[in-house]
Amino acid sequence: MNVLVCVKRVPATGGRITLTPDEQEIDTRFLGFTVSPHEECAVEEAVRLIEAHGGTSVVLTLGPSVAEEQLRDALAMGIGEAILLQTDGREWDPIATANAIVDVVRSREAAGMAFDLLLFGNEAADTGDYQIGIRVAHVLGLPCVAGIKALEVRGGAAVAQREADGGREIFEVSLPAVFAVKEGINLPRYPSVPGRLKAKKKEIHRIVPEKRGGGLEKVRLKLPEEQQGEVEILGSGPEAAPRVVEVLQRLGIVPS
């Protein structure tokens, strides 16, 4: 079985976000880079599938040269190969990105190494477009299930589950197929030191992608109004309990 998993390099946010002076990017001076939690789960899922069924796994990203770091993270977790669709760092919109991925999928197919599963994160952590997986599936004419929380491969088919109001939706699709993975499907492993060291020695296949389609243009970023949090210390120790009850009652959390 051959599995492709696609990830995107994004700033590791957590603190207050600031923008670059031209308002085009997040200021990343104090930030590291990562992939979205969904994509991390997609990588873990790919590693588990290959561990269970054998085959090859490939991680792919489209981004600047430094996005190699995210590919190596995936390699350290156990992915077999990495492809970097290397750009000059400017943002590619979902149509152009999907087209570039399709090119890779088709050329692998032509070389006799067709993918059986194409895994994506449900959405990117920065742009949140929810589009790449679906667009790739559409162009390739493959079935696609998004937002999945479970995935099982049986013979030439896969069973995927996702959460729905009050229950679960279960899909069975024939392979090859596209899945957009949601955080929670698994608990991604931490890379081990030997994993890291092996990843370091692996070659990254660098491809300069052809930019086709698109038209979505970022005008600028804007930060939402900061919410001013008020902290009031009600007291400490057992003496504070009545005041806490009072507040909970006022908020309607416990009956008065």
Partner 1 sequence: MTTLPRDANVVVIGGGIVGNSMAYHLARLGWKDIVLLDKGPFPSPGGSTGHASNFIFLVDHSKEMTEFTLDSVRQYQELGVFTESGGIEVARTKERLEELKRRVASAKSWGVEPVELVAPAEVKELVPFLDEKIVLGAFHTPGVGVVDSLRAGTLMRERAQEMGAITVSANTETTGLDVVDGRVAGVRTDKGDIGCETVVICCGVWSPRIARMAGASIPLTPAVHQMIDVGPVPLFAETVGEIAYPIVRDMDTNMYERQNGSDFEIGSYAHRPILMEPDQIPSIEESVLSPTELPFTQDDFDLQMEQALELFPDIVGDERVGIRHSINGLLSLTPDGMPCLGETPEVKGMWSAAAIWIKEAPGIAKTIAEWMTDGCPEIDPHASDIARFYDHHRTKTHIEARSAEGYNKTYGIVHPAEQWSSNRDVRLSPFYARERELGAVFYETAGWERPHWYESNAGLLDEYGDRVMQREAEWESRWWSPIISAEHLAMRDRVAMVDLSAFAIFDVSGPGALGYLQRLAVRQMEVPVGRVVYTPLLNPAGGVKADLTIMRLGSNRFRVVTGGFSGMFDKKWFVDHLPDDGSAQLYDATSAWCTVGVWGPRARDLVASVAEDDVSNEAFPFATCRGIDLGPVRALASRISYVGELGWEIYAPMEEGARLWDLLWEAGRAVGVVPAGIGVYATTARLEKSYRAHGNELELEYGLVEAGMAGPAVKDQDFVGKDAYLNQRQQEATALLCSLTVDDHTSSSGVKRYMLGREPILTPDGGPIVDAKGRRSYVTSAGAGPSVGKHILMAYLPPEHALVGTNLTVEYFGEPYPVTVAVVGNTPLLDPANERLKG
Site residues, partner 1 (CB under 8 A): 12-16, 18, 29-33, 69, 72, 189-197, 200, 233
Rounded to a whole number of angstroms, the minimum distance from the CB of residue 165 to partner 1 is: 34
Q: How far is the CB of 228 from partner 1 (least distance, A)?
A: 12
Q: Pick the closer one to partner 1 by CB: 28 or 161.
A: 28
- Output 145 or 199, the one with its CB closest to partner 1: 199
Residue nearer to partner 1 on the CB measure, 72 or 162: 72
- Pair 140, 79: CB distance under 8 Å: no
Which residues are CB-neighbours of 53 under 8 A, at least 6 positions away?
Answer: 1, 153
Distance CA 65, CA 58 (A): 18
Q: Which residues of 121-134 are buried (b: 16+ CB within 10 A; e: fewer)?
A: bbbbbbbeebbbbb
Nearest Cα to Cα of residue 181 among 133, 114, 129, 137 = 133
- State the minimum distance, in angstroms, from the CB of residue 72 to partner 1: 8
Minimum distance from residue 195 beta carbon to partner 1 (Å): 7
Nearer to partner 1, 30 or 225 (CB): 30
Complex with partner 1: residue 197 or 244, whichever CB lies closer: 197
**Identity of the residue, 165 or 226, whose beta carbon is nearer to partner 1 in the bound complex:** 226
Q: Which residues pair with residue 56 across a beta bridge?
A: 2
Tell me how far, at minimum, the Cβ of 190 lies from partner 1, in Å: 3
Q: Identify which of 58, 54, 51, 12 has the alpha carbon closest to the alpha carbon of residue 31.
A: 12
CB 70 within 8 A of CB 192: no
Residues contacting 91, CB < 8 A, separation 6+: 127, 218
Query: Which residue bears the tokens 């599936």?
Result: 137
Least distance from C-beta 40 to partner 1, angstroms?
A: 13
Q: Residue 222 gets which letter from DSSP?
A: -
